[in-house]
């Protein structure tokens, strides 16, 4: 950890969300600042207490709030007080009056840890929505990403260019997954009106999130719902039916649907009801080419035929060759297969345990820069691209 020149005060617990709040005082003047604010019942000063000893006393004088302090290191003290906003603010204000500088716990970690990747992983862990994504971030906290980057630098420094390229390829292999360890994949459910998109959303997430009605065009706004599939965070968006219309309200809904499609990581394209041999039964019929033209390029699409409970078994066989999944949101048929298809489409090759996975935009950008310079066999450029990821100096 780099030597600190200032003494900081950091609120470690969420604001107003804990029965007990923890405030960290860290830096060369931490002991002095706390001793000037805290009176131990034992009469001893904090600087005299052994590390990890919990001490009961009062903050702000003999009549002040009763709380606990604990010396965590030679230059770090934790103050454990009531979790209310006013109590925490009082503790921080007294410390600031004695020269401490307030900072967020994010900035404190980035400033205090000599390994920027480890600090960033610790920050990201607080926002990990699933156990699977948290496990991948924990691997990076324990050094998986740092070690692989050092391996790439060592290979470039020694002129082992194939090894350097292999290391960078391995680092970039899971970049898409890494960028979704704290933010969900955007999965958009799209298609013509009255194909059961809202019913499909409800079936996928397991509860009634969207209003379902036989009347076409029920969905006007984009309806979102969060869940997890195979441990990956997903944000579903149920959209207005795609069709040609002159109705102002319907047009506004279709514009929102088009905007949602533009930011999608995956599209579930739900087909119009058919009679089993491709003849549509809807008055909102659009050609497949017309629908496909509205989809963003390079975004994977899972083609779904819903409402197969309305079809005879013999008709389903023919449809199975035209669509990726056949479903019935009403009976639940095909929902498990659709969930599996979503997971496979988003993460077809998940990272192994302990794999190096970049999880921040800057990490990916610098790895891509380094990979480009490997082709020129320029070790200086490779190191210049990667070194900022390993050191804040």
Give per-residue pLDDT as tens, 32-82: 999 999 999 988 888 888 898 999 999 988 888 999 999 999 899 999 999
Name the pLDDT band for 275 (thresholds 50, 70, 90): very low
Name the pLDDT band for 244 (thresholds 50, 70, 90): low
Looking at the chain, the whole-number percentage of residues with pLDDT higher than 90 is 60
Q: Are 82 and 89 in contact (CB under 8 A)?
A: no
Residue 176 belongs to what H/E stretch? helix 175-178
Instruction: Tell me which of 98-112, 289-303, 379-393 is least confident.
Output: 289-303
Burial 83-108 (b: 16+ CB within 10 A, else e): beeebbebbbebbeebebeebebeeb
How many CB atoms neighbour CB 54 within 10 A?
Answer: 11
Name the pLDDT band for 222 (thresholds 50, 70, 90): low
Instruction: Answer with the residue of higher pLDDT: 191 or 20.
Output: 20
Where helices occur in 206-330 by DSSP H, the ranges are 248-262, 288-293, 313-319
pLDDT tens-place string over residues 122-173: 999 999 999 999 999 999 999 999 999 999 999 999 999 999 999 999 999 9
pLDDT at position 204: 92
10 Å CB burial of residue 163 (0-12, 13-18, 19+) is middle
**What is the mean predicted confidence (pLDDT) over 216-242?**
77
Q: Round to the nearest angstrom and report the end-to-end CA distance of the chain.
A: 12
pLDDT tens-place string over residues 365-378: 999 999 999 988 99
Compute CA distances 294 → 190, 242, 262, 268, whole Å.
10, 9, 9, 13
Instruction: Answer with the residue of higher pLDDT: 320 or 215.
Output: 320
Provide the token pair at 116. 């920027």
Name the pLDDT band for 310 (thresholds 50, 70, 90): confident
CA atoms within 13 A on the CB side of 267: 25
pLDDT tens-place string over residues 195-215: 888 889 999 988 565 445 454
Average pLDDT across the chain, whole number: 86
Name the pLDDT band for 219 (thresholds 50, 70, 90): very low
* Residue appearing with tokens 């077809």: 348
pLDDT at position 215: 47
pLDDT surpasses 90 at 357:
yes
pLDDT at position 193: 80
85-97 vs 30-37: helix crossing angle, rounded to 10: 120
pLDDT at position 116: 95
pLDDT at position 349: 95
What lies within 8 Å, CB to CB, of 194 at 6+ separation is 214, 215, 216, 217, 241, 273, 282, 284
Residue 55 belongs to what H/E stretch? strand 54-59
Provide the token pair at 211. 């209003």
Distance CA 65, CA 58 (A): 5
Can you give the pTM of this predicted structure? 0.82
pLDDT at position 309: 84
Name the pLDDT band for 258 (thresholds 50, 70, 90): low
Compute CA distances 133 → 145, 224, 233, whole Å.
15, 21, 8
Instruction: Answer with the residue of higher pLDDT: 261 or 173.
Output: 173
Q: Are 222 and 239 in contact (CB under 8 A)?
A: yes
pLDDT surpasses 80 at 24:
yes
131-141 vs 116-125: helix crossing angle, rounded to 10: 160
Name the pLDDT band for 250 (thresholds 50, 70, 90): low
Where helices occur in 300-334 by DSSP H, the ranges are 313-319
pLDDT at position 388: 94
Burial 352-383 (b: 16+ CB within 10 A, else e): eeebbbbbbeebbebbeebbebbeeeebebbb
pLDDT at position 393: 64
pLDDT at position 139: 98
Provide the token pair at 336. 């498990």
């Amino acid at each position: 950890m780099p030597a600190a020149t200032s003494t900081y005060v950091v609120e470690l617990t969420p604001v107003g969300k804990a029965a007990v709040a923890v405030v960290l005082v860290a830096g060369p003047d931490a002991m002095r600042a706390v001793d000037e604010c805290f009176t131990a019942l034992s009469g001893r000063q904090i600087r005299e207490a052994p590390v990890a000893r919990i001490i009961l006393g009062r903050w702000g004088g003999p009549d002040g709030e009763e709380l606990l302090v604990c010396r965590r290191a030679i230059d770090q003290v934790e103050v454990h007080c009531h979790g209310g906003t006013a109590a925490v603010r009082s503790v921080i204000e007294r410390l600031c009056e004695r020269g401490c500088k307030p900072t967020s716990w994010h900035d404190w970690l980035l400033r205090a840890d000599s390994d920027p990747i480890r600090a960033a992983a610790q920050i990201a862990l607080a926002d990990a929505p699933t156990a699977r994504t948290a496990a991948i971030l924990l691997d990076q906290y324990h050094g998986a990403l740092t070690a692989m980057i050092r391996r790439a630098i060592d290979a470039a420094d020694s002129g082992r260019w194939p090894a350097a390229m292999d290391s960078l390829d391995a680092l970039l292999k899971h970049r898409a997954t890494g960028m979704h360890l704290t933010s969900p994949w955007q999965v958009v459910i799209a298609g013509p009106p009255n194909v059961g998109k809202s019913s499909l959303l409800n079936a996928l997430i397991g509860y009634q999130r969207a209003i379902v009605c036989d009347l076409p065009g029920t969905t006007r706004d984009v309806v979102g719902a969060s869940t997890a599939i195979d441990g990956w965070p997903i944000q579903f968006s149920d959209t207005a039916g795609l069709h040609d219309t002159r109705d102002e309200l319907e047009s506004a809904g279709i514009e929102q649907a088009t905007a949602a499609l533009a930011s999608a990581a995956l599209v579930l394209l739900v087909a119009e009801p058919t009679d089993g041999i491709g003849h549509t039964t809807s008055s909102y019929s659009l050609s497949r080419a017309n629908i496909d033209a509205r989809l963003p390029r390079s975004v994977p699409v899972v083609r779904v035929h819903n409402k197969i409970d309305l079809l005879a078994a013999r008709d389903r066989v023919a449809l199975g060759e035209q669509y990726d999944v056949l479903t019935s949101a009403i009976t639940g048929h095909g929902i498990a297969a659709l969930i599996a298809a979503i997971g496979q489409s988003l993460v077809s090759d998940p990272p192994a345990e302990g794999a190096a996975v970049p999880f921040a935009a800057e990490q990916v950008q610098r790895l891509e820069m380094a990979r480009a310079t490997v082709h020129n066999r320029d070790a200086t450029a490779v190191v210049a691209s990667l070194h900022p990821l390993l050191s804040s100096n």
